Amino acid sequence: MLTPETIAMIADELADADRMHSVIPRITARYPEATIEDSYAIQAVWRDKNVAAGRTLVGRKIGLTSKAMQEATGITEPDYGVMFDDTVYPSGSDISVDLFSNVRIEVELAFVLKHPLEGPDCTLEDALAAIDYAVPALEVLNSHIELEGRTIVDTISDNAAYGGMVLGETRRTPDEIDLRWVPGLLYRNGEITETGVAAGVLDHPARGVAWLANKFHHHGARLEAGEIILAGSFTRPMWVSRDDEVLCDFGPMGTITCRFI
C-alpha cells in the first residue's frame, strides 16, 4: 500500500491537472503496488480538499456497472466517485469543452433519495423504497490520467473519471415506470451513435444504488436523503468535441440536449 505522503502527493497532482485541464502519467505505471484501497484514499483526500475549499457535494456516481462499459474499459468491477454542485447542468445547457481534459458522454439514469440508505445487506427492494424519483441523465466523463493502459486503480483515484452531469426534466417514481426498460438513443449532431436499455446496468439500474450502499458500509458511511446517485451507463462512451450537439432520447422519460462550446 502507498504511504499517506504519496497518497497526498497524487491527490495534489490530480487537483493540479483538474485546474490545468491536463493529464498526468498513470499512477499504476509509477506505483505498481497501489491497491484499490489506495485509490479510494487518494480520491478521499482530493474530495476533502474540494469540500474545504467551499465546493458542495450533491451526490455520488457509480461507474462500470454494465457489460458495455466494462468491455469498453477492460475493467471488471464497479467503482464510485463524488459529484459537486458546480458540475451539474440542466438539459439545454451550453457546456465549455475548456473545462475538461477530454470529453466523453454516457447515457444513464439518476436517482434522488428520499431516505438514507445503509448496508451491509441492502437489496434492490431496499434501494427502490429509499428512492424518491428517477430522472434521465448524461454523464460527462473527464480523465486527468492518461487513458492508455489505465486500470481501476487509476480510474478510482481520478474520481471515477467523473466530469459533469446533465439532468433531464422528467421525473418518475419507481412504481410509475419499469425502470429496466427505459431506453437511451444517443445522437451526436443528428447522427445516432449508441443505443441501450437501462437493464444493462446490473439487470436493474437501481441495483447499483444498493451496491453503493453496501460498499459505503465498509467505510463506515451511508447514502443520505437528498443525494443524487448517478447509477452507471448503459451505453458505451461517445467522444464529443467543440461545437458538437448532443441529444439523448429516453422514450417515456423524455429527452436531454446539450451543446459543447
CATH of the domain at 82: 3.90.850.10
The whole-angstrom separation of Cα 234 and Cα 167 is 16
In a domain, 142, yes or no: yes
Residue environment code for 61-71, b if the CB has 16+ CB neighbours within 10 A, otherwise e: bbbbbbebbee
Residue 217's φ and ψ, nearest 5 degrees, are: -60, -35
pLDDT attached to residue 126: 98
Residue in 134, 195, 206, 129 with CA at minimum distance from that of residue 170: 134
- Please indicate, yes or no, if residue 141 is contained in any of the structural domains: yes
Average pLDDT over residues 124-135: 98
What is the dihedral angle through the alpha carbons of 255, 183, 158, 39, rounded to the nearest 10 degrees?
150
pLDDT at 245 over 70: yes
Task: Please name the residues in contact with 122: beta carbons below 8 A apart, sequence gap of 6 or more.
Answer: 210, 213, 214, 217
Mean pLDDT within 220-243: 95
* pLDDT, tens digit, 9 for 90 and up, residues 154-195: 999 999 999 999 999 999 999 999 999 999 999 999 999 999
Residue 101 lies in a domain: yes
Alpha-carbon Rg for the chain in angstroms: 17
The answer to whether residue 187 is domain-embedded is: yes
The residue with cell 467551499 is 54
211 within domain boundaries: yes
Look at residue 62 and tell me whether its pLDDT is greater than 80.
yes
User: Domain span at residue 126?
Assistant: 57-260
What are the angstrom distances between the C-alpha of 208 and each of 60, 197, 203, 233? 11, 15, 10, 11
- The pLDDT of 39-59, averaged and rounded, is 97
> What's the confidence (pLDDT) of residue 68?
66
Give the residue from 4, 18, 39 showing the smallest Cα distance to 84.
Answer: 18
Residue 239 is assigned to a structural domain of this protein = yes
Residue 163 domain flag? yes
Indicate the number of domains in the chain. Answer: 1
pLDDT one-digit tens code per residue, 66-114: 776 667 666 677 899 999 999 999 999 999 999 999 999 999 999 999 9
Per residue in 162-173, pLDDT (tens digit) is 999 999 999 999
User: 257: alpha, beta or left, given left = phi > 0 and alpha = psi -120 to 50?
Assistant: beta
Q: Is 90 exceeded by the pLDDT of residue 14?
A: yes
Please answer whether residues 144 and 21 qualify as being in contact, where contact means their C-beta atoms are separated by less than 8 angstroms. Answer: no
Is residue 77 in some structural domain? yes
